[in-house]
Structure 1
Amino acid sequence: MSEDNKTLCAHVEEELHVKDPQAYIQLIQPATHYCQGCGRSAAKAENVCKPQKLP
Protein backbone atom coordinates (compact mmCIF):
# COMPACT_ATOMS: atom_id res chain seq x y z
CA MET A 1 0.00 0.00 0.00
CA SER A 2 1.43 3.39 -0.92
CA GLU A 3 1.67 6.26 1.56
CA ASP A 4 -1.13 8.09 -0.29
CA ASN A 5 -3.55 5.16 0.03
CA LYS A 6 -3.13 4.51 3.75
CA THR A 7 -6.01 5.11 6.11
CA LEU A 8 -5.59 6.96 9.38
CA CYS A 9 -5.71 3.61 11.19
CA ALA A 10 -2.61 2.50 9.26
CA HIS A 11 -0.85 5.80 9.92
CA VAL A 12 -1.64 5.62 13.64
CA GLU A 13 -0.42 2.02 13.77
CA GLU A 14 2.88 3.30 12.35
CA GLU A 15 2.79 6.19 14.88
CA LEU A 16 2.70 8.99 12.30
CA HIS A 17 0.88 11.15 14.86
CA VAL A 18 3.94 10.79 17.13
CA LYS A 19 6.73 10.79 14.53
CA ASP A 20 5.39 13.59 12.30
CA PRO A 21 2.45 15.39 13.95
CA GLN A 22 2.27 18.05 11.22
CA ALA A 23 1.80 15.42 8.50
CA TYR A 24 -0.92 13.76 10.57
CA ILE A 25 -2.66 17.10 11.18
CA GLN A 26 -2.74 17.74 7.41
CA LEU A 27 -4.66 14.48 6.99
CA ILE A 28 -7.32 15.42 9.51
CA GLN A 29 -7.87 19.17 9.02
CA PRO A 30 -10.37 20.41 8.21
CA ALA A 31 -12.34 17.27 8.96
CA THR A 32 -15.17 16.53 6.53
CA HIS A 33 -15.65 12.80 7.24
CA TYR A 34 -15.43 10.41 10.17
CA CYS A 35 -14.94 6.66 10.40
CA GLN A 36 -17.98 4.69 11.52
CA GLY A 37 -15.59 1.98 12.74
CA CYS A 38 -13.08 3.80 14.93
CA GLY A 39 -14.46 7.34 15.14
CA ARG A 40 -11.42 9.09 13.66
CA SER A 41 -12.13 12.22 11.62
CA ALA A 42 -10.35 13.15 8.40
CA ALA A 43 -10.16 15.78 5.68
CA LYS A 44 -10.92 13.19 2.95
CA ALA A 45 -13.21 10.17 2.89
CA GLU A 46 -10.43 7.94 1.56
CA ASN A 47 -8.40 8.57 4.73
CA VAL A 48 -10.76 6.49 6.91
CA CYS A 49 -11.91 2.87 6.65
CA LYS A 50 -15.68 3.37 6.91
CA PRO A 51 -16.30 7.00 5.88
CA GLN A 52 -19.40 8.94 6.81
CA LYS A 53 -19.76 12.61 5.81
CA LEU A 54 -19.92 15.04 8.71
CA PRO A 55 -23.12 17.11 8.75
Structure 2
Amino acid sequence: MSDDNQKTLCGYIEEELQIKDPQAYISLIEPATHYCEGCGRSAAKPENVCKPKKL
Protein backbone atom coordinates (compact mmCIF):
# COMPACT_ATOMS: atom_id res chain seq x y z
CA MET A 1 0.00 0.00 0.00
CA SER A 2 2.51 2.55 -1.10
CA ASP A 3 0.13 5.25 -2.40
CA ASP A 4 -2.22 5.22 0.63
CA ASN A 5 -2.75 8.98 0.88
CA GLN A 6 -4.07 9.29 -2.68
CA LYS A 7 -6.57 6.42 -2.74
CA THR A 8 -10.12 6.27 -1.52
CA LEU A 9 -11.93 3.16 -0.39
CA CYS A 10 -13.36 2.77 -3.90
CA GLY A 11 -9.81 2.40 -5.23
CA TYR A 12 -8.93 -0.15 -2.58
CA ILE A 13 -12.10 -2.12 -3.32
CA GLU A 14 -11.16 -2.23 -7.02
CA GLU A 15 -7.81 -3.71 -5.98
CA GLU A 16 -9.65 -6.16 -3.67
CA LEU A 17 -7.79 -5.01 -0.55
CA GLN A 18 -10.71 -6.24 1.57
CA ILE A 19 -9.95 -9.75 0.26
CA LYS A 20 -6.16 -9.62 -0.05
CA ASP A 21 -5.43 -7.86 3.26
CA PRO A 22 -8.57 -7.61 5.41
CA GLN A 23 -6.71 -6.12 8.41
CA ALA A 24 -5.32 -3.27 6.29
CA TYR A 25 -8.81 -2.57 4.97
CA ILE A 26 -10.29 -2.67 8.47
CA SER A 27 -7.71 -0.13 9.65
CA LEU A 28 -9.05 2.28 7.02
CA ILE A 29 -12.65 1.98 8.17
CA GLU A 30 -12.44 1.47 11.93
CA PRO A 31 -13.54 3.43 13.89
CA ALA A 32 -15.68 5.13 11.28
CA THR A 33 -16.11 8.88 11.64
CA HIS A 34 -17.20 9.73 8.07
CA TYR A 35 -19.22 8.21 5.26
CA CYS A 36 -19.29 8.81 1.52
CA GLU A 37 -22.38 10.59 0.26
CA GLY A 38 -21.76 8.93 -3.12
CA CYS A 39 -21.40 5.22 -2.35
CA GLY A 40 -22.24 5.03 1.36
CA ARG A 41 -18.96 3.49 2.51
CA SER A 42 -17.79 4.52 5.97
CA ALA A 43 -14.20 5.37 6.89
CA ALA A 44 -11.97 6.41 9.77
CA LYS A 45 -10.70 9.51 7.91
CA PRO A 46 -12.53 11.85 5.51
CA GLU A 47 -9.77 11.55 2.91
CA ASN A 48 -10.54 7.82 2.58
CA VAL A 49 -13.87 8.48 0.82
CA CYS A 50 -14.75 10.49 -2.29
CA LYS A 51 -17.56 12.66 -0.88
CA PRO A 52 -17.01 12.73 2.91
CA LYS A 53 -19.76 13.60 5.33
CA LYS A 54 -19.21 13.50 9.11
CA LEU A 55 -21.20 10.81 10.95
Please indicate the TM-score interval, normalised by the length of the shorter structure: over 0.9
**Alpha-carbon separation, structure 2, partners of 1:42 and 1:3:** 14
Residue number in structure 1 paired with 2:39: 38
SS in 1 for 2:32: coil
Give identity over the alignment, percent: 74
**Alpha-carbon separation, structure 2, partners of 1:51 and 1:12:** 17
Runs of 4 or more, structure 1, over 4 Å off, are none
**Alpha-carbon separation, structure 2, partners of 1:43 and 1:37:** 16
Which structure 2 residue ranges, 5 or more long, are not aligned? Answer: none
**Alpha-carbon separation, structure 2, partners of 1:5 and 1:16:** 15
Residue number in structure 2 paired with 1:25: 26
Q: Please report the TM-score for the alignment, with normalisation by the length of structure 2.
A: 0.93
Q: Please report the TM-score for the alignment, with normalisation by the length of structure 1.
A: 0.93
Give the RMSD, CA atoms, in angstroms. Answer: 0.6
SS in 2 for 1:52: strand
Count of residues paired in the alignment? 53
Which structure 1 residue ranges, 5 or more long, are not aligned? Answer: none
